[in-house]
Structure 1
């Protein structure tokens, strides 16, 4: 039984996709706080609690787009998984790319899951619901196990 809000970091540069994701998780059954950052540089600053994110909460899960400005999501994933303070955070790649090389590279970089964003609204909401159902209801997340 979840007794606290699940902290979700959404790394997404597309405002429409970010809004859809926020709405989908707001409608969910699990209490959550979703923080949105718009690029890879912001994501790493947030995770490392650098300004302006010095008070950032340690996320329980990261939803990561691959095609980001300033620092690509592939680089962000590699940095997260090579950092002893961050590597335990599950990373769900949520991206428009269906390229086999992106899928293989994400898993080689230790992504925990790879999901291609559907373009249809109803399918997108189903994907968000599936993420919530699996990652926030069934999986035991290492909240607070490592504090940066």
Structure 2
């Protein structure tokens, strides 16, 4: 009989990334780490905003989310998404980790100016994803969410 995997409190994960390979790698890593929290995927910032706003409308409040955000996406990139989130009183407390290929100091600085919880560079994708998700999982287990 399979034992049910533990959830990380009631936190939902939202991956915002347009790269199908990155999404599949994140999903595979989540399974290997036995993280079974609800997972939603958005291909860009506009789709992510739609998911988050639908959650607020359905629940009357923002459910606890941890967002894993890529920066380089079509329609609405990661920086535009951060700008919208941080200016919205219902969404501005979201916990967001940037997971991207960009290591430019300007991008790192710009992301932290928008109060991201962490900026992670995908330099060695397999290893970086694994370590990043282990850290995010530990974070979500230890930190009380708003």
Do the aligned partners of 2:11 and 2:37 also contact (CA within 8 Å) in 1?
yes
**1-side partners of 2:85 and 2:32: how far apart?**
29
**2-side partners of 1:100 and 1:3: how far apart?**
32
Which 4+ residue blocks in structure 1 deviate beyond 3 angstroms? 1-5, 54-59
2:145 aligned to which of 137, 141, 146: 141
Q: TM-score, normalised by structure 1?
A: 0.82
Task: Identify which range, 15-24 or 29-38, moves more after superposition.
Answer: 29-38
Aligned residues: 139
**1-side partners of 2:10 and 2:20: how far apart?**
24
RMSD of aligned alpha carbons: 2.5
Do the aligned partners of 2:86 and 2:92 also contact (CA within 8 Å) in 1?
yes
Name the residue aligned to 1:107. Answer: 112
Structure 1 unaligned regions, length at least 5: 143-148
2:82 aligned to which of 77, 91, 99: 77
Local SS of the residue matching 2:38: strand
**2-side partners of 1:36 and 1:113: how far apart?**
19
Answer yes or no: is 1:31 the counterpart of 2:67: no
Alpha-carbon shift at residue 18 of structure 1 (Å):
0.5
**2-side partners of 1:40 and 1:3: how far apart?**
25
